[in-house]
Amino acid sequence: MSNIVAIVGRPNVGKSTLFNRLVQRRDAIVDSVSGVTRDRHYGKSDWNGKEFSVIDTGGYAVGSDDIFEEEIRKQVDLAIDEADVIVFVVDVEEGITPMDTEVANLLRKVKKPIFMVVNKVDNSMREDDALEFYNLGLGEFFTISSINGSGTGDLLDAVVKDLEDDIVVQDELPRFAVVGRPNAGKSSFINALIGVERNIVTNIAGTTRDSIDTKYNRFGFEFNLVDTAGIRKKSKVKEDLEFYSVMRAVRSIEHCDVAIIVVDATRGFEGQDENIFWLAEKNKKGVVILVNKWDLVEKETNTMRDFEAQVRNEIAPFTDVPIIFTSVLTKQRIFKAIETAVEVYENRKKRIPTSKLNETMLDIVKTYTPPAYKGKFVKIKYCMQLPTPTPQFVFFCNLPQYIREPYKRFVENKLRELYDFKGVPIVIYFRQK
């Protein structure tokens, strides 16, 4: 379970530069997924062994430099609602502006950890200039230069101290988050699940700090459904539903085992759907894609096949994902959706014994060896599944640096073929023995 750190502030103070600095440290190492992050406003970071998510609220702003104060206020409100820690960035070159004062006024009322960061402080003269920011009434601040990184270490030390330790949820039940863009049919899907026979056992509050899990016991399955944006609308964010849905999806996805992504068939698989998909993939969650409102689409012979092909094309290279066409209105294939989510959950927990893995995979990698590189031949000697909560494998070989992306994908596809990891991201490492 991860904490969320939101970066707020008016335009051009260096929020995005700070964001990039926070996430790239980790992305460079961990993101072995080809195509890196596809959503540049959301990323994972890690400092002193604590993992957290970073959101650059400015990235979602409508308009550019001449942005309205109203827009900033909305972003700050969202950050206050959704984040665990808020980093407020100001600019030493421009000093305190009316908009900074406005943001500070909002933040002073908040009961969450707030870190004020004075950016662009790259010499001692500017250290002195930074003193005026005490006037904002937020107490101590950090001086940094997000371009060259000075001061960010001290800031991160303080931020991670304030993050809650990862909570281990004792409940062994699968946790499914229903996510997707506004109006795709998330609420209707949940209501269709609840409404048929009201076998709700309990509402467990507080397993995730702010969303409510509902425990279901139906279809012969027991599972927890993580409440998302569809259930809890807040009046003040009507105007900014896109940003809100991403923020909500971040929260829900991080606290689930399987993300059920609801897509509106009448709109197709759009950019926002893709962002939510990559969010789940990045967090190593299981994924089921639900194409809803299929009853409203005019059909020809290959309509379903073409739609599915288009979705798989958008989510490549991770295409081993179940896609189910439903109509929540007519309750068509709702049972299938839950059944599939349970299968994906089981796949995500799957452990392959080392002896069995070596028996099958070593034959394959001997027959199809990695292409020689600069006249050097890679020999893979041994493989095992790592003891991690999600499927990760390590292959030991003599020259791991010469293994290229296409070969990694080949190995991944073989693992999927042999052991059925449908709907689950797999991580593969090549290491020297």
Per-residue pLDDT tens for 16-44?
888 888 876 433 323 333 233 334 477 77
Distance of alpha carbon 47 from alpha carbon 24, whole angstroms:
12
Does domain 354-432 sit in CATH 3.30.300.20? yes
Tell whether the torsion through CA atoms of 408, 414, 418 and 424 is positive or negative: positive
Question: By C-alpha distance, which of 46, 20, 56, 32 is closest to 282?
Answer: 32
The H-assigned helical ranges of 31-68 are none
The Cβ of residue 273 has, within 10 Å, a number of other Cβ atoms equal to 24
Tell whether the torsion through CA atoms of 249, 177, 185 and 425 is positive or negative: positive
- Locate the DSSP E strands across 42-182: 42-47, 50-56, 85-91, 114-119, 141-143, 175-180
- Locate the DSSP E strands across 238-375: 258-264, 286-292, 323-325
- For the chain, the farthest-separated pair of C-alpha atoms sits apart, in whole angstroms, at 71
Do residues 245 and 229 lie in contact, with contact meaning Cβ atoms separated by under 8 Å?
Answer: yes
- The CA radius of gyration of the chain, in Å to the nearest whole number, is 24
Residues of the chain with CATH 3.40.50.300: 4-162, 175-349
Q: What totals of helices (H) and strands (E) does the chain contain, helices first? A: 12, 16
The H-assigned helical ranges of 283-404 are 303-315, 334-349, 354-367
SS3 content of the chain, % helix, strand, coil (to 5): 40, 25, 35
- Locate the DSSP E strands across 21-112: 42-47, 50-56, 85-91
Q: What are phi and psi of 412, to 5 degrees?
A: -60, -45
Do residues 231 and 203 lie in contact, with contact meaning Cβ atoms separated by under 8 Å?
Answer: no
| Ramachandran quadrant class, 86 (left: phi over 0; alpha: psi -120 to 50; beta: rest) | beta
Strands 213-218 and 200-204: antiparallel
For residue 68, what pLDDT is reported? Answer: 56
Distance of alpha carbon 146 from alpha carbon 349, whole angstroms:
40
Binding positions: 9-16, 56-60, 119-122, 180-187, 227-231, 292-295
DSSP state of 146: T
Q: Which residue has the tokens 């004792």?
A: 170
Task: List 51's β-bridge partners, or say none.
Answer: 46
Does residue 317 have a cis peptide bond before it, meaning omega lies within 30 degrees of 0?
A: yes
Binding positions for GTP: 9-16, 56-60, 119-122, 180-187, 227-231, 292-295
Burial class (CB in 10 A: 0-12, 13-18, 19+), 89: buried
Distance of alpha carbon 195 from alpha carbon 320, whole angstroms:
31
CATH of domain 4-162: 3.40.50.300
Q: Which contiguous run of DSSP H or E holds residue 429?
A: strand 427-432
What is the per-residue pLDDT across 212-270, written as a single tens digit (0 to 9) for each? 567 777 767 888 877 564 333 344 444 455 565 566 677 788 878 999 999 999 999 98
Predicted TM-score of the model (pTM): 0.69
- Residue ranges in the chain whose pLDDT is less than 50: 25-40, 61-66, 168-170, 196-211, 229-239
Burial class (CB in 10 A: 0-12, 13-18, 19+), 162: middle
The topology (CATH level 3) of 175-349 is: Rossmann fold (3.40.50)
Distance of alpha carbon 220 from alpha carbon 388, whole angstroms:
28
SS3 47: strand
Tell whether the torsion through CA atoms of 206, 211, 213 and 214 is positive or negative: positive
Non-local CB neighbours of 422 within 8 Å, separated by 6+ positions: 320, 321, 322, 343, 344, 347, 416
Question: By C-alpha distance, which of 165, 186, 204, 162 is closest to 261?
Answer: 186
